[in-house]
Amino acid sequence: MAEEYDLVVLGGGTGGYVAAVRASQLGLKTAIVESGKLGGTCLHKGCIPSKALLRSAEVFKQTKEADTFGIETSEPTLNFFKVQERKQSIIDTLHQGVQGLMKKGKIDVFEGYGRILGPSIFSPSAGTISVELNNGEENPMLIPKNVLVATGSSPRTLPGLDVDEQYVMTSDEALSMEELPNSIVIVGGGVIGIEWASMLADFGVEVTVLEYLDRILPTEDKEVSKEMTRLMKKKGIKVVTGAKVMPETLKKEDGIEIQAERKGENQTYTADRMLVSVGRSPNVTNIGLENTDIETENGAIKTNKYYQTKESHIYAIGDVIGGMQLAHVASHEGIIAVEHMAGENPMPMDMEQVPSCIYSNPEVSSVGLTEEQAKEQGYEVKTGKFSFKAIGKALVHGETDGFVKIVANKENDDLLGVHMVGPHVTDMISEAGLAKVLDATPWEVAHSIHPHPTLSEVMGEAALAVDGKQIHG
Q: How far apart are CA 408 and CA 381, in angstroms?
A: 6
The pair phi, psi for residue 13, each rounded to 5°, is: -75, -165
- Please tell me the distance from the alpha carbon of residue 123 to that of residue 132, in angstroms, as a whole number: 19
* Sequence-distant (≥ 6) Cβ neighbours of residue 34 within 8 angstroms: 11, 12, 16, 40, 109, 110, 111
Would you say 277 and 261 are in contact if contact means Cβ atoms under 8 Å apart?
A: no
CA–CA–CA angle 473, 424, 452 (5° rounding): 50
Cβ within 8 Å of residue 407, ≥6 positions away: 221, 368, 369, 370, 371, 374, 381, 383, 415, 416, 417, 418, 419
Q: Is-catalytic flag, 450?
A: no
The torsion angles phi and psi of 9, rounded to 5 degrees, stand at -100, 125
Enumerate the β-bridge partners of residue 147.
8, 314
Check 332, 447, 452, 472 and give the catalytic one: 452
CB contact at 8 A, 352 and 436: yes
Contact 167, 252 (CB under 8 A): yes
Measured from the Cβ of residue 363, the count of other Cβ atoms closer than 10 Å reads 23
- SS3 for 312-351, per residue? CCEEECHHHHCCCCCHHHHHHHHHHHHHHHCCCCCCCCCH
Positions marked active-site? 452
